[in-house]
Amino acid sequence: MTHDPAEHHNNPSPRQTAPKADAERGQPLYLEGLNPPQREAVLKVEGPLLVLAGAGTGKTRVLTTRIGHLIASGHVRHPSQILAVTFTNKAAREMQERTSRLLGHPVEGLWIGTFHAICVRILRRNAELAGLNSNFTILDTDDQIRLLKQLLAAENIDDKRWPARILASLIDRWKNRALSPEQLPGDETQAFANGLGGKLYAAYQARLQTLNACDFGDLLLHVIRLFQKHPDILAQYHRQFRYILVDEYQDTNVAQYLWLRLLAQNTGGAQPAKHNICCVGDDDQSIYGWRGAEVGNILRFSQDFPGAEVVRLEQNYRSTGHILGAASALIAANEGRLGKTLWTDAGNGEPVRVSGVWDAPEEARAIGDEIESLQTKGHGLNDIAILVRAGFQTREFEERLITLGLPYRVVGGPRFYERAEIRDAMAYLRVIAQPSDDLAFERIINVPKRGLGSAALQKLHGVARQHSLPLTRAARHPDLMDQLRPQARRSLTGLMDDFDRWREALATENHAHVTEMVLEESGYTGMWQQDKSPDAPGRLDNLKELVTAIGEFENLAGFLEHIALVMDNDENDEREKVSVMTLHSAKGLEFDTVFLPGWEEGIFPNQRSLDEAGLKALEEERRLAYVGLTRARQRAHIFFAGNRQVFGQWQASLPSRFLDDLPVTHVETDTAQGLYGNSNRAARGGWGSGSWGDADDSFADMANTAPYEAKQDVSYGDDKYGPGWKRAQSQLQKTHKRRAPVLTQKAETTRTVSPFAVGERVFHDKFGYGTVEDVEGTKLLIRFDKAGDKRVMDQFVKSADTV
């Protein structure tokens, strides 16, 4: 997916070449085609180095070339002396692959991975020192929340008023700051449930310990404590890691920063102290503050690592001049930047386009149409992306793309292992691998239904607590047997016997085969076979896929770890598709054409962020806008809608303040749709004001009898300053107040009864044949033969016998 921009522009030759010295120039081939700062970033291997890499300046190329250089030039005796840390598995994979490609052979032994994956590796080796068994379980957010719910219940705290996931995010934030329960500042322990926050955090940690489990935050914290308490172990890693590389340094949180400092700051001893740490990042692309990232880390780098050098990569190989111009002006409105000036020698290209539309559906229609027209002009769908601020916005585009028959992918949708059936199957395996995994056991004790409901579970918990036993042990306890009804008793001992048998089978048989056996004998697959719901077959397919995936691992434990830390949706479908995703998940990617819908106050900048963190959040939102714009190679097209449904309610919206920051010289209003008519932003002193005045024509179809006469009551054109948003916005507000009823009228005059009847056979371009299950006005619930149940507007289906 991600392409190295430099690959397209300044180094067309294949790079499979082995790194032998170019005799004539006396330098390794892999340095060819690097610009001077890039080269410096690769060659400066000793001492701390910060590489400030602007968007599209060849950051990944520098990182991989640097690793290749360390290996090829003999700076390290073995790749395992290099530690390369990333934030995502994808980035780690990409770096591994590209380093191998650069060197011409697979690189083995390199320590490359996410912070968490590397921590697990260190922690498994030294688990006892952290009070864990080396086969500890890694809990995901789901497990975490269920555990916290139990703790809240135990403390008699109303989880309506104090929801478990709020506590979870609180604990998460503490862990991001590397704070253990006893280190919490006094006032922060008060943060939850009238002062019980700190106590609950401590209880949670204690519970994790007894469960032999870690959450994601713990992985880092345990390793930090380990290093702090056992200098000998830290020294061992100091000896091993001669060179440390960090990707996306601007995204590190306090815990990750401490972790890196411990590893990078070899404080002496027999070995000479060296801080060979190279951090690559871009303060302008710091968009994870809400997740605990500290931009301060990158801003402070030179103080933290004395003698640090800073290299700036500023030549952009990705975007056109207009796109860079607009993006640079936008980000310049932020304060507290390290400062970079991106430039390109690739020419100006097309200006960034900005279009105002009436409402969200029209926005989707406009983008859909434009994609179709790009497609007819021969543009590949893979090179087109729609980047939204928030996940829920993807829906309107999905619907539109489906009706247009344009294939698309939603990046960052629900993941394979987040599906219920996968988590259920995993729970079985977890109990087999680790009988004390109470959370897993609880999940499947009555799945499929075996008559062990809440009553039985409560008794089980009682006995377990009384005797301090894991649930699976308590399940055999005579005390419990006395309490349960015969039926439940039989059912529970049967299940326990099953687990014993499966555990034995695992010792002798292939683990993939055992998995199949477990799913079959537990009645789990049977449960889905019985299930009449249309997604049941899909779930069975997923289970099959799970078994296949397990087969690819050496053992069950290896698989369980993989799924917790690494597994993501692998797209094996090769077809060309439009990408739809959030701005956050677009970071690091690039596309020829980028659509940026929803640039409206409240949505972007996001109101919730602003409420939480004020100006700091506004700057982060602006960086997000910057990230969005700089994803585009050739074309960026921004949209804002005047009306949008929020939680099912129509609401008027105002153009985003970020539009103010876009300089006139790099932006063009969308005249193609006639939205702006003869208005010209430069001449009229603010395209926003002009745009709505001329809106009548284009919205004529929506506003049948629009009582809207903007031209009469809006006077402008004498504005000498830049975009006159403030005024435009106040006009818009008036406008919307009067326009709102028009929508209602429209809804009332629209046909409300569908020509289709329940039971009728229909055909849909995308979903194929199906039967109408329900009719609600013009909306149909259709049970498709292949695609399952969908809600579809009747206009998108035809009667089956007319096809």
Partner DNA sequence: TTAAAATCGCTGGTC
Partner DNA sequence: GCGATTTTAA
The contact set with DNA (CB under 7 A) reads: 87-90, 114, 116-117, 140-141, 159-160, 169, 172, 216, 290-291, 389-393, 412, 446, 449, 451-456, 488, 565-566, 568, 582, 584-585, 606, 608-609, 612-613, 617, 620, 645-648, 791
- Whichever of 245 and 311 has its CB closer to DNA, that residue is 245
**Is 526 labeled as ligand-binding?**
no
- Whichever of 482 and 504 has its CB closer to DNA, that residue is 482
CB of 648 to DNA, least distance (A): 3
CA geometry: angle 599, 602, 605, nearest 5 deg: 60
List, by residue number, the catalytic residues. 59-60, 247-248, 285, 631
Q: Is 272 exposed, middle or buried (0-12, 13-18, 19+ CB in 10 A)?
A: exposed
CB of 507 to DNA, least distance (A): 30
Long-range own/partner contacts, residues 775-780 (CB < 8 A, 24 or more apart):
777/752, 777/753, 778/750, 778/751, 778/752, 778/753, 778/754, 779/754, 780/754, 780/756
CB of 581 to DNA, least distance (A): 7
**Is 523 labeled as ligand-binding?**
no
**Is 329 labeled as ligand-binding?**
no
Measure the CA–CA gap between 368 and 386, rounded to whole angstroms: 10
- Whichever of 37 and 588 has its CB closer to DNA, that residue is 588
Residues near 734 by beta carbon (within 8 Å), at least 6 away in sequence: none
- Whichever of 214 and 519 has its CB closer to DNA, that residue is 214
For residue 249, give both structure tokens: 């340094």
Measure the CA–CA gap between 757 and 776, rounded to whole angstroms: 10
CB of 578 to DNA, least distance (A): 17
**Is 57 labeled as ligand-binding?**
yes
Q: Are 453 and 446 in contact (CB under 8 A)?
A: yes
Per DSSP bridges, beta strands 213-214 and 137-138 are: parallel
Measure the CA–CA gap between 76 and 126, rounded to whole angstroms: 25
For residue 489, give both structure tokens: 């008793």
Q: Is 573 exposed, middle or buried (0-12, 13-18, 19+ CB in 10 A)?
A: exposed
- Whichever of 7 and 561 has its CB closer to DNA, that residue is 561
Measure the CA–CA gap between 198 and 188, rounded to whole angstroms: 7
- Whichever of 230 and 489 has its CB closer to DNA, that residue is 489
Measure the CA–CA gap between 113 and 135, rounded to whole angstroms: 20
**Is 58 labeled as ligand-binding?**
yes
- Whichever of 11 and 585 has its CB closer to DNA, that residue is 585
Measure the CA–CA gap between 295 and 251, rounded to whole angstroms: 7
CB of 610 to DNA, least distance (A): 8
Q: Is 647 exposed, middle or buried (0-12, 13-18, 19+ CB in 10 A)?
A: exposed
CB of 532 to DNA, least distance (A): 10
Q: Are 281 and 69 in contact (CB under 8 A)?
A: no
Which value, to the nearest 10 degrees, does the dihedral of the CA atoms of residues 602, 608, 611, 615 take? -70
3-state secondary structure of 721: coil
Measure the CA–CA gap between 199 and 202, rounded to whole angstroms: 5
- Whichever of 547 and 613 has its CB closer to DNA, that residue is 613
CB of 419 to DNA, least distance (A): 10
Q: Is 502 exposed, middle or buried (0-12, 13-18, 19+ CB in 10 A)?
A: buried
φ and ψ at residue 343, rounded to 5 degrees: -140, 165
Beta-bridge mates of residue 352: 667
CB of 803 to DNA, least distance (A): 25
Known binding-site residue numbers: 53-60
Known binding-site residue numbers for ATP: 53-60
